[in-house]
Amino acid sequence: MHVALHFVMRIVKNGNKNTKSLACTSLVRPILEYGAAYWDPYREYQLSPLDRVQNKAAKFAHHWEGSDWESLAQGRKIARVCPLYKAYTGQKAWKAIGDR
């Protein structure tokens, strides 16, 4: 996680805000979200390093602490709820599972 962020910071340090934001959201954010549906950390010592990397990326891209990026916790919540909704509404892939 840190390696990808430091790579992006080194490569696009002279870029504009949009370039930095695009680089962070396309190269760093997927690493932070990888496996969130299966590995959903809930303990503080598991969440803090992830949040620190995202905050550092947001500060680098936007030059301030806050950003309009979706929080990692919110993304994990959506990743958990979507399959349940699809199973409940009987969408194609889930209908075959529900019929069993």
What is the DSSP track for the chain? Answer: -HHHHHHHHHHSTTS-HHHHHHHIIIIIHHHHHTTTTT----SHHHHHHHHHHHHHHHHHHHSSS--SSPPHHHHHHHHHHHHHHHHHHT-HHHHHHHT-
Q: pLDDT for 69-96, tens place per residue?
A: 788 888 888 877 887 888 788 777 666 5
pLDDT digits (tens, 9 = 90+) for 15-70: 998 999 999 989 998 888 886 656 677 777 777 888 888 888 888 988 666 667 78
